[in-house]
């Protein structure tokens, strides 16, 4: 009874922040904290409801309900609906999103209100709408609804990145984020249409949904169902559909080559960056892959591409983070890199590992951004790490929380990031060793990225908090209040201990230690649980992954060897940074990179080539097309019209206006007719 | 025996051609009207000649109608010529060309 009540209230999880959006928008200026309180109450309520549904799913079963059918009936052979799907994955994500959103609202009190910022009602309204769209996206039960909320998330991030629209940078960054992600979403939209055209439904599944597109696709591959695949082999077509949807995922989750918007998005207020990077915008992409994982698991090609893109992005972004001077830039590239890991896990067949890293990353990345926000408050909005230093003694709460998040990010045992990153790499390694060189290549890139992650993380911590203050503001920082410290403390603890939800290596030795997340995700509804995905991954008719082992080490040996290698690399990277940047007055070592330095500082010229693509190539092609349109197409039409104009002009000269001429023509015509008539009739013969 | 019908036809053709010649060569609108009158009467001659030839009165009746029509036409024609004169101070048909093109 209690669980069904929880499900009855579930839609309110997204509705509550939406109400706070309306309240802040319409009445925000009259409220004491300009809408912050309403936002906190709403997200707090969402958090409680999410936790309640999580508990209800845990004690009972998953739940799916169609709330509203907006296209349907007898005249069309498909239905477009809004509905909710509450299963282990979505309830877990709901809890994560509402937790982070709640803490970000609280932090905003310190970052925005105490700082005397203007436009606060707009800020809280957008924050509420952002949270509402992400929560709606998370519990969407079909792909079309997911797409709509996906777009809303993109819109809200556009609004929030461009919050300080009176300055030059933010509006341009907002436009860039909007356009780049929209480029990916374009493919996503085609993918949604393709899914509808193929399966006639876009339901993800869940209890009571027998013909979800994931399930039908699976049956089509084993020959138990037939769908319209437009002349392709079913597996080829499903791969194409999967890759189209993946376009949206890569745009939102900032995967190479669509990652360029994310570092620029740092122009937004820091709490917004925390929300975007940890729980909403960027997480939406990989969450979508996890949501329809049963579909991707059918196609080894799509999985290989996901893994390769993920592994490459992880390494690529990590190398760029190494040289950055602004604290938020380092964090931005680390976000890209970490989402690369999540993609790597999902592509490598590690569904649980991917969700695990998504969870731990949400906590430690929110923590790092809020920590950076705290530092930025203290530094009067100077983000350059070379102006900081020595903040450790001045702001201990921020320091220890930030350190906890940094060690988690670097993947140092026993912080949460270690356990999840290790599992990501382990899953990819064993499936790669099982006979997939592509996965091994992706694994190798992910592994090298661990070294860089350790390096840039420790470098960031040392430059920000250690050594002597390198500027006057760093020597006398602005104090922060409880509303900054409390979220940091909560997240600091979470970032340290969140790993306990899936202690795989410990479980391998002491089986009494449970793999909570693993069991949780395996416990889901038919067709939507980890166990089923594992069967799909290992089935030769679908992805056909097999597990291998490192030479003669056995399963447990491989697990520990993998963990050992990644930990050793993380420690090596950290130690290198420690050696280079310790001491009271660290020197900048970027000159040692030689020719690489400008390349890294310019982010591998990614922006340049994309600008060239836009301005050099696209504009030129557009100009050519314009010339063709105006020259050939319009020219043809104009030629026809001028031809008739010209001939009409000549022909009207016949009308002289002189009656005598008309009479002469009349007579002439009659005579000619008579003569012709006579010739035909043979009168003159 | 009376005059054969061919003579009438040749006569009416001659009258018609005189009228046509007048229309084609004259520039004075009044001469136009007179020429048109000649052409109409050529047709009337034909009607009466054939009526006589066939031995019934239909043709003659029609020629009466044509005369009535011609009277009406002259009335309108002279009206037009009057307006023409008022606008152009002339009854030359070649000068009234302002409405062309």
- Cα–Cα distance measured from residue A26 to residue A661, given in angstroms and rounded to the nearest whole number: 81
Provide, as residue numbers in chain B, all residues whose Cβ is less than 8 Å from the Cβ of A660.
23-25, 27, 93-94
**Among B29, B92, B97, which would you mutate to test the A interface (most chain A Cβ atoms within 10 Å of its Cβ)?**
B97
What would the CATH number be for the domain defined by B5-88?
A: 1.10.287.3510
Q: CA of B92 to nearest chain A CA: how many angstroms apart?
A: 10
A653, A661 Cβ separation under 8 angstroms: no
Q: CA of A662 to nearest chain B CA: how many angstroms apart?
A: 9
- Looking at the DSSP assignment, which residues form a beta bridge with residue A71? A80
CB contact under 8 A, A657 and B98: yes
CB contact under 8 A, A667 and B99: no
- Cα–Cα distance measured from residue A406 to residue A461, given in angstroms and rounded to the nearest whole number: 7
A533, A351 Cβ separation under 8 angstroms: yes
CB contact under 8 A, B20 and A667: yes
User: Which among A323, A334, A321 has a CA at the least distance from the CA of A588?
Assistant: A323
Residue B46 has what pLDDT? 93
Residue A93 has what pLDDT? 92
State how far the alpha carbon of A572 is from the alpha carbons of A191, A319, A411, in Å: 43, 15, 11
Interface of A with B (CB under 8 A): 652-653, 655-660, 663-664, 667
Residue A61 has what pLDDT? 80
Q: From the list A653, A658, A667, which residue is nearest B94 (CB)?
A: A658
- Determine phi and psi for A13, rounding to 5 degrees: -60, -40
A-chain residue closest to B23, CA distance: A660
CB contact under 8 A, A657 and B97: yes
For chain A, list residues with pLDDT below 50.
1
The secondary structure of A385-419 as a DSSP string is GGG---HHHH-HHHHHHHHHHHHHHHT-TTSHHHH
Is the bond into A257 cis (omega within 30 degrees of 0)?
yes
Q: From the list B25, B98, B100, which residue is nearest A655 (CB)?
A: B100
Q: CA of A642 to nearest chain B CA: how many angstroms apart?
A: 18
Residue A3 has what pLDDT? 60
B-chain residue closest to A661, CA distance: B24
Residue A533 has what pLDDT? 85
Those residues with Cβ within 8 angstroms of residue A189's Cβ, 6 or more apart along the chain or in another chain: A147, A248
Provide, as residue numbers in chain A, all residues whose Cβ is less than 8 Å from the Cβ of B28.
none
How many Cβ atoms are within 10 Å of A318's Cβ, its own excluded?
A: 29
Q: From the list B25, B32, B100, which residue is nearest A657 (CB)?
A: B100
- Cα–Cα distance measured from residue A328 to residue B77, given in angstroms and rounded to the nearest whole number: 97
Residue A27 has what pLDDT? 84
CB contact under 8 A, B97 and A656: yes
Provide, as residue numbers in chain A, all residues whose Cβ is less than 8 Å from the Cβ of B31.
none
Three state DSSP letters for A345-388: HHHCCCHHHHHHHHHHHHHHHHHHHHHHHHHHHHCCCCCEHHHC
Those residues with Cβ within 8 angstroms of residue A237's Cβ, 6 or more apart along the chain or in another chain: A198, A229, A230
Provide, as residue numbers in chain B, all residues whose Cβ is less than 8 Å from the Cβ of A667.
20, 24
Residue B1 has what pLDDT? 53
CB contact under 8 A, B100 and A656: yes
CB contact under 8 A, A667 and B24: yes
A-chain residue closest to B94, CA distance: A658
Q: CA of B40 to nearest chain A CA: how many angstroms apart?
A: 15
Q: From the list A652, A663, A664, which residue is nearest B101 (CB)?
A: A652
Summarised one tens digit per residue, pLDDT across range B6-48 is 999 999 999 999 999 999 898 888 998 999 999 999 999 999 9
- Cα–Cα distance measured from residue A21 to residue A128, given in angstroms and rounded to the nearest whole number: 5
Provide, as residue numbers in chain B, all residues whose Cβ is less than 8 Å from the Cβ of A664.
24
Residue A225 has what pLDDT? 77
Q: From the list B24, B94, B101, which residue is nearest A663 (CB)?
A: B24
Residue A68 has what pLDDT? 86
CB contact under 8 A, A658 and B20: no
A-chain residue closest to B97, CA distance: A657
CB contact under 8 A, B32 and A659: yes
CB contact under 8 A, B97 and A663: no
**Among B13, B24, B30, which would you mutate to test the A interface (most chain A Cβ atoms within 10 Å of its Cβ)?**
B24
- Cα–Cα distance measured from residue A574 to residue B47, given in angstroms and rounded to the nearest whole number: 125
């Amino acid at each position: 009874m209690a669980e069904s009540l929880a499900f009855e209230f579930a839609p309110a999880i997204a509705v509550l922040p939406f109400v706070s959006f309306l309240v802040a928008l319409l009445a925000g200026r009259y409220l004491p904290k300009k809408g912050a309180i309403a936002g906190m109450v709403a997200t707090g309520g969402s958090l409680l409801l999410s936790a309640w549904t999580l508990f209800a799913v845990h004690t009972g079963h998953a739940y799916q309900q169609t709330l509203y059918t907006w296209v349907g009936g007898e005249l069309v052979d498909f239905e477009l609906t809004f509905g909710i799907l509450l299963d282990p994955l979505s309830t877990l994500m709901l809890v994560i999103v509402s937790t982070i959103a709640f803490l970000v609202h609280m932090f905003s009190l310190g970052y925005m209100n105490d700082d005397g910022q203007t436009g606060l009602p707009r800020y809280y309204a957008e924050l509420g709408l952002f949270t509402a769209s992400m929560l709606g996206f998370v519990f969407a039960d079909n792909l079309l609804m997911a797409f709509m909320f996906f777009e809303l998330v993109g819109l809200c991030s556009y609004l929030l990145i461009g919050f300080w629209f009176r300055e030059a940078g933010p509006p341009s960054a907002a436009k860039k984020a909007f356009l780049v992600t929209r480029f990916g979403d374009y493919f996503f939209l085609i993918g949604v249409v393709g899914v509808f055209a193929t399966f006639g439904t876009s339901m993800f599944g869940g209890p009571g949904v027998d013909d979800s597109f994931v399930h039908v696709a699976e049956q089509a591959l084993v020959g138990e169902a037939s769908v319209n695949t437009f002349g392709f082999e079913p597996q080829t077509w499903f791969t194409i559909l999967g890759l189209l949807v993946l376009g949206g995922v890569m745009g939102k989750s900032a995967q190479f080559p669509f990652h360029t918007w994310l570092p620029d998005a740092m122009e937004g207020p820091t709490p917004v960056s925390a929300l975007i990077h940890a729980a909403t915008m960027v997480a939406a992409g990989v969450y979508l892959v996890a949501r329809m994982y049963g579909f991707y698991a059918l196609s080894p090609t799509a999985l290989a591409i996901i893994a390769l893109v993920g592994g490459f992005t992880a390494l690529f972004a990590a190398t760029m983070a190494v040289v950055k001077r602004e604290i938020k830039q380092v964090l931005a590239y680390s976000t890209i890199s970490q989402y690369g890991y999540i993609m790597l896990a999902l592509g490598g067949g590690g569904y649980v590992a991917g969700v695990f890293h998504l969870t731990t990353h949400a906590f430690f990345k929110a923590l790092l951004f809020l920590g950076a926000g705290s530092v930025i408050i203290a530094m009067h909005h100077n983000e350059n790490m070379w102006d900081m230093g020595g903040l450790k003694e001045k702001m201990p709460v921020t320091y220890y929380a930030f350190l906890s998040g940094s060690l988690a990010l670097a993947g140092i045992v026993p912080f949460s990031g270690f356990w999840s990153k290790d599992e990501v790499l382990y899953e990819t390694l064993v499936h790669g060793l099982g006979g997939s060189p592509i996965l091994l290549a992706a694994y190798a890139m992910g592994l090298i990225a661990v070294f860089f992650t350790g390096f840039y993380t420790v470098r960031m911590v040392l430059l920000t908090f250690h050594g002597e203050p390198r500027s006057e503001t760093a020597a006398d920082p602005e104090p922060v209040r409880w509303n900054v410290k409390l979220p940091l403390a909560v997240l600091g603890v979470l970032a340290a201990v969140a790993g306990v939800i899936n202690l795989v290596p410990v479980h391998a030795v002491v089986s009494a230690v449970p793999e909570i997340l693993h069991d949780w995700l395996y416990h889901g509804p038919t067709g939507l649980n980890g166990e089923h995905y594992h069967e799909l991954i290992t089935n030769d008719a679908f992805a056909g992954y097999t597990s291998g082992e490192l030479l003669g080490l056995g399963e447990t040996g491989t697990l520990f060897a993998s963990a050992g290698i990644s930990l050793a690399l993380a420690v090596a990277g950290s130690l290198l940074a420690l050696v280079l940047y310790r001491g009271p007055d660290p020197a900048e070592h970027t000159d040692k990179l030689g020719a690489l330095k400008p390349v890294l500082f310019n982010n591998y010229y990614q922006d340049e080539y994309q600008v060239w693509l836009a301005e050099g190539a696209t504009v030129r092609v557009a100009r050519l097309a314009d010339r063709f349109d105006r020259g050939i197409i319009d020219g043809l039409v104009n030629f026809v019209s001028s031809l008739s104009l010209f001939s009409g002009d000549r022909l009207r000269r016949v009308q002289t206006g002189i009656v005598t001429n008309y009479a002469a023509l009349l007579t002439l015509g009659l005579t000619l007719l008579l003569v012709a008539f006579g010739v035909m009739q043979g009168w003159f013969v | 025996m009376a005059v054969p019908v061919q003579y009438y036809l040749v006569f009416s053709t001659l009258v018609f051609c005189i009228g046509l010649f007048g229309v084609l060569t004259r520039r004075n609108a009044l001469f136009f009207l007179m020429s048109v009158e000649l052409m109409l009467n050529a047709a009337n001659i034909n009607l009466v000649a054939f009526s006589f030839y066939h031995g019934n009165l239909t043709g003659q009746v029609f020629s009466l109608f044509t005369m009535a029509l011609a009277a009406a036409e002259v009335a309108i024609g002279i009206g037009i010529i009057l307006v023409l004169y008022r606008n152009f101070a002339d009854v030359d048909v070649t000068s009234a060309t302002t409405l062309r093109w």
